Structure 1
């Protein structure tokens, strides 16, 4: 194969495509509960407030992302991520055998701890396998798996209910995850150790990576990383941005059922559309960055402009509660999914621009903990207040938070020399 072909279709793209499978399974496992929530809450006599605590337990678990990232930086992606996927798959299957809101909350907390490894693993992968100019595209591709997993969840739950019950959906997702973990362990390795990589592709990858981001002799502690303004520059925008994904992933099916009057069939028909739009956002954000970067704009500035564009589009989310037509509300939710992934992929990818190879997973985990703290606070507030004030104020809040996040991104991140 020619050098040009290897640049376009090299092994690294096959590796990131394999990782897409993990992201699909990650978000499928976490989305099944929200799609099945109308049936589960009715069957188990779980209140909105208790459901808020169930979703909150998951977010508390995911907030352990810094430890997950540290584990991956220490153990490496091959063994470390295979273990994480196997654990979350087993916990997913456990959902089929639990009852009561407390039992669900306990399992969701454990699931969050294991699933929190996905984003740190993704950033470590693209930091190791991709030159700087391709990291945005690679990050966009693997994040497609996140929204695609949520796309699969509604039809999977509808099928499971028709064949057996919602419990079958958890078992199927868990079994597929265990199979994927074995495949990952067999096929993955670092570029320098992978048997299938060519010398030309390895040289191409290494030549396109920044010297300042080579692995440091000593990996910095959590406190050392926390003192860097670059960490806060990506963490605070994620704190403000991620509640949108929490709304779409955990609360949208309940919103459609209770406010818009959708039954399970209608939810299966429409609830995946915002996640399909989110898939397009995963590609749009990196495309904007590449367009600006090719025209001489610094890579960091190009990412900030892409985030800002996503934040402007997110203001449409504020009008979901005001839409009189349910299909107009779904269209606005689709805009929200598209805008969120446009900006989310952009800020997540910045970790691989700013942190060394053996600290990028830890830094991504710390920023992810901030994002999931935002989801936790938002979910608990929504669970406490939704039955009295409705969903409208929460949609309005989501429409403006990312504008603040964009301002913080411009203020806190400094362009590396």
Structure 2
């Protein structure tokens, strides 16, 4: 490796994380764009649609801790690539459920969404591990915000395209296109992703820069018997700072999953738009979410470089963004379409601004169990992928409108603010305590 020319291979790695995250969220959003047409074709009510929306979340949550263990045990490259390919296959298979009798179609769609969530579980813990390895502390906020912005980029890019597909070709083509795209991307991933010390194109200067400024370049897959233990989970779950972060991210993800599941249906059923128009409109808030996500990360890292504490640098964009997200409740008091779009755009911008949860994970995870820590964080965060679509489905079924659904989502934004301000406290890396594995109790240092 050349000693003098500093490469920027980490930006190529970040580009791959952005692309994979974009496809992952396009897969999650596909069911929402197709939702109104599915509801009509299958003759299902809002509650049933809510459960179908939640299917991805059930398995995604259940698989977070096992996937985190797999990432720590075998490394991000192969586990992540397998996940991309398998979830893409299950997405492709969803295009065939319309050929079945209605009862079988609903059950099959739920099961296929369930299996997609299972395969997709390593995605975000894997992202966090890779960012922790490849990026110095002062760049992690921007890097995490950029890959997290894939959720907005997915909607901005694919919502109009998928809306056109549903309107012109049929909802089946949405699942075909996303499934095939993901399968191709899994092959590109295998050719692109390496650990910092193994990448064939990285220079010694870039490797030193990453290592000397906080990048975990020496993190390696654990050997058999040396991986995460149950007492590690107990230590994470008894840490007040992490519990506050978990609660905050659960509430933040409630906003995410409203936009990923019910938002297009809201535009069609509550605001009377066509599915084609809803797809186009949904892209506008997503673009602002993308801008907000990058701005939040850049602002956070800028504050760090100016000498402000890690706590202030991470919390300030999060709290400001959540305040903006809570304004979506104002849609209940306006009727003009342009005002509704404007308010939702502001709320989505705020959601982007506060998307620093994974930067906080990279900042706080114990070095030995970054994958497990990310998996546990994502378990709590994605409980919202189960509760949000189901709760909103029941609210709509009971009230006949989205008004209380918007109140519910906005209230979660306020709870997240309280969690970061009152529970989290100073943000710092957690150090694991030594523990006797035979009894699961801490080993006290000898004097």
State the TM-score, normalizing by the size of structure 1: 0.93
| Structure 2 partner of 1:25 | 23
SS in 2 for 1:265: helix
Aligned to 2:211: 206
CA distance in 1, matches of 2:72, 2:334: 46
Q: Counterparts of 1:256 and 1:318 in 2: how far apart (Å)? A: 15
After superposition, give the CA deviation of every residue in 1:92-135 in whole Å (9 maximum; x if it has no partner): 10110114222211111111122222211111110010110000
Tell me if the contact between 2:290 and 2:352 (Cα under 8 Å) persists in the aligned partners: yes
CA distance in 2, matches of 1:218, 1:268: 45
Q: Which residue of 1 aligns with 2:73?
A: 74
1:246 corresponds to: 257
Q: C-alpha offsets along residues 51-82 of structure 1, whole Å, 9 cap, x if unaligned? A: 01111222112212222222222221111110
Alignment CA distance shift 1:3-1:144 (3 Å): farther
Considering only aligned residues, what root-mean-square deviation do their CA atoms show, in Å? 2.3
Deviations 1:233-274 (A, max 9, x none): 221101111111111110011111111000122112211112
Give matches, 1:361-380, under 5 Å: 361-380=371-390
Q: Which residue of 2 aligns with 1:121?
A: 126
1:416 matched to 2:414: no
The equivalent of 1:190 in structure 2 is: 195
Q: Do structure 1's residue 104 and structure 2's residue 104 form an aligned pair?
A: no
SS of equivalent to 1:195: coil
Task: Quote the Cα distance in structure 2 between the aligned partners of 1:3 and 1:322.
Answer: 62
What is the correspondence of 1:145-224 to structure 2 with a 5 Å cutoff?
A: 145-161=150-166, 164-209=169-214, 219-221=228-230, 222-224=233-235
Q: Which moved more, 1:68-77 or 1:405-414?
A: 405-414
In 1, distance between residues paired with 2:249 and 2:53? 18
Q: 1:75 to 1:239 in 2, by over 3 A?
A: same
Correspondence for 1:308: 319
Distance 1:348 1:397 in 2: 24
Take 1:204 and 1:406, find their aligned partners in 2: how far apart are those partners? 35
Please list every run of 5 or more consecutive structure 1 residues that lacks an aligned counterpart in the other structure.
none
* One of 346, 367, 381 as aligned partner of 2:391: 381
Work out whether residues 79 and 122 of structure 2, in 8 Å CA contact, stay in contact via their aligned partners in 1: no
- CA distance in structure 1 between the aligned counterparts of 2:265 and 2:45, rounded to whole angstroms: 12
Aligned ranges 1:258-337 → 2 under 5 Å: 258-337=269-348
Other-structure match for 2:438? none
Q: Considering only CA atoms, is the larger Rg found in Structure 1 or Structure 2? A: 2
Q: Distance in 1 between matches of 2:308 and 2:81?
A: 38
Secondary structure, aligned partner of 2:196 = coil
In 1, Cα distance between equivalents of 2:363 and 2:274: 45
Which deviates more, 11-20 or 218-227?
218-227
Report SS of the residue matched to 2:197: coil
Shift of 1:158: 3.4
Moved more, 117-126 or 213-222: 213-222
Secondary structure of 1:416's aligned partner: coil
Of 130, 141, 148, 1:143 maps to 148
State the TM-score, normalized to the length of structure 2.
Answer: 0.87
| CA distance in 1 between partners of 2:52 and 2:316 (Å) | 36
Change (3 A) 1:166 1:5: farther
Give the helix-richer structure, 1 or 2. 1
Aligned counterparts of 1:272 and 1:357: Cα–Cα separation in 2: 38
Distance 2:64 2:412 in 1: 23
- Deviation of 1:25 after TM superposition, in Å, equals 0.8
Alpha-carbon displacement from aligned partner over 1:290-312 (angstroms, at most 9, x marks no partner) = 23223322112210122111122
C-alpha distance in 2 between matches for 1:214 and 1:301 = 27
Q: Is the 8 A contact 2:3 2:204 kept in 1?
A: no
| Unmatched segments (≥5 aa) in structure 2 | 99-104, 430-447
Output one character per residue of 1:166-212: Cα deviation in whole Å (capped at 9) or x when no partner.
Answer: 2112111111111111111122110011111110000000001178x
Deviations 1:306-341 (A, max 9, x none): 211112212211212222112211111111211112
How much has 1:400 moved relative to structure 2? 3.2
1:59 alignment partner in structure 2: 57
Aligned to 1:398: 409
